[in-house]
């Protein structure tokens, strides 16, 4: 998971699968998140928006060919 911060205290977190494909994005808010260890999950965050991505059949075939 990777975290980026925006103005106003909101931040985005991005989750990836073992092949490095984006699997989820989260827009969150958490005033207490100050440690690096907090950046790798959404536990304790106030998640405002969540988007999950499922790989398409084409993406799965492409990943197997590489």
DSSP state of 11: E
What is the structure's pLDDT at 57?
62
C-alpha 28/C-alpha 36 separation (Å) is 16
What is the structure's pLDDT at 28?
86
C-alpha 32/C-alpha 22 separation (Å) is 26
C-alpha 55/C-alpha 9 separation (Å) is 31
What is the structure's pLDDT at 34?
65
What SS3 state is found at 36? Answer: helix
Q: Domain range spanning residue 10?
A: 2-65
pTM score, whole prediction: 0.66
Per-residue CA distances from 43 to 21, 32, 34, 40, 46 (Å): 22, 12, 13, 9, 9
Q: Give, for all 66 residues of the chain, the pLDDT tens digit.
A: 677 777 677 888 888 888 888 888 888 887 666 666 666 778 778 888 888 887 666 655 544 544
Count structural domains, the chain: 1
What is the structure's pLDDT at 45?
83
């Amino acid at each position: 998971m990777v975290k980026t911060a925006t103005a106003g205290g909101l931040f985005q977190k991005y989750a990836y699968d073992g092949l490095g494909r984006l699997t989820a994005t989260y827009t969150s808010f958490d005033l207490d998140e100050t440690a690096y260890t907090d950046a790798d999950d959404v536990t304790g965050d106030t998640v405002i928006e969540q988007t999950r991505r499922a790989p398409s059949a084409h993406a799965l075939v492409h990943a197997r060919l590489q």
